[in-house]
Amino acid sequence: MTEPLKIAYSPCPNDTFVFHAWAHGQVPGAPALDVTFADIDITNGMAERGEFDVLKVSYAVLPWVLDDYALLPCGGALGRGCGPLVLTRQPGEGQQLTGKDLAGKTVAVPSERSTAYLLFRLWAAAEVPGGVGEIKVLPFHAIMPAVRDGEVDAGLVIHEARFTYQNYGLHCLADMGEHWEQTTGLPIPLGAIIAKRSLGEERLRELADAARSSVRMAWDDPEASRTYVLEHAQEMDPAVADQHIGLYVNEFTADLGENGYAAVRGLLTRAAAEGLVPPLGPGALDAV
């Protein structure tokens, strides 16, 4: 009997929604999975250490792992109107904050190897004269409280924080995705599904097919995954979980397509030009 493939993805609703059918053995012919849940900063490190067969990671980490892992053309998160936000405390009455107000300030981020951080650095290069000050890495659930309590001047947030930041009395200074879309016209690349090249080309194609089938099964019967999604959603309001899925699971999840690959190449090429990541080798992003 073949050993289950070791896979790690986040407990966020988009990942549990996408992988529910596959993880529960409901995708015909798909290999069995041994699932580990971990936040994206943890899975990025796992990929760099080559610890799992299949992983959900930030697109930002690809330049460090593509020698050992291949990008699967489905199962990940890209989209429009779904970028990370820079949050601050509410400005005083009549005061309008801009990127210039972050010059020299302390900003909390969820990871320095995240796509959110790359998008933030590309935005800051254009909008924050002289650059920001200290970068403080915090778990993403701790960022909004830190901004609210004055422990940092601003925070870069991801995931469902798009829908909940006003509950903390916070102000959206800038939308990184909006800046990316306006300057490139491309969708926003966030999270990628990667698999070990050592599995072989035929196996990689099978994995891509399984991921794509799992996505389509989730769309065909959204209620089937509901218990699984909410069980892992860290006490998230079901309505917020639904918004989260609606935003992050889209046509690019089923297939990156031309625009998806262009977005990934565009992000990593720009980031390499800024010295934020190593340049990609030839063929690194070739489709499985």
For 8, the token pair is: 């790690």
Run of H or E residues at 215: helix 201-220
Overall size of the chain counted in residues: 288
Which residues belong to the annotated binding site for substrate?
56-58, 115-116
For 165, the token pair is: 């930041």
Q: What's the Cα-to-Cα distance from 192 to each of 86, 117, 149, 234, rounded to whole Å?
A: 22, 15, 33, 22
Q: What is the DSSP string of 216-227?
A: HHHHH-GGGGHH
Active site residue 232: no
Structural contact between residues 195 and 72, judged by C-beta atoms closer than 8 angstroms = yes
Which one from 159, 171, 232, 244 is the annotated catalytic residue?
Answer: 159
Which residues belong to the annotated binding site?
56-58, 115-116
Q: How far is Cα 76 from Cα 249, in angstroms, rounded to an integer?
A: 8
Burial class (CB in 10 A: 0-12, 13-18, 19+), 47: buried
Which of 42, 46, 86 is closest to 68 using CA atoms? 46
Degrees to nearest 5, angle at CA 35 with 13 and 191: 50
Which of 60, 83, 276, 103 is closest to 184 using CA atoms? 83
Run of H or E residues at 265: helix 257-273
Q: How far is Cα 154 from Cα 27, in angstroms, rounded to an integer?
A: 43
Positions marked active-site:
159
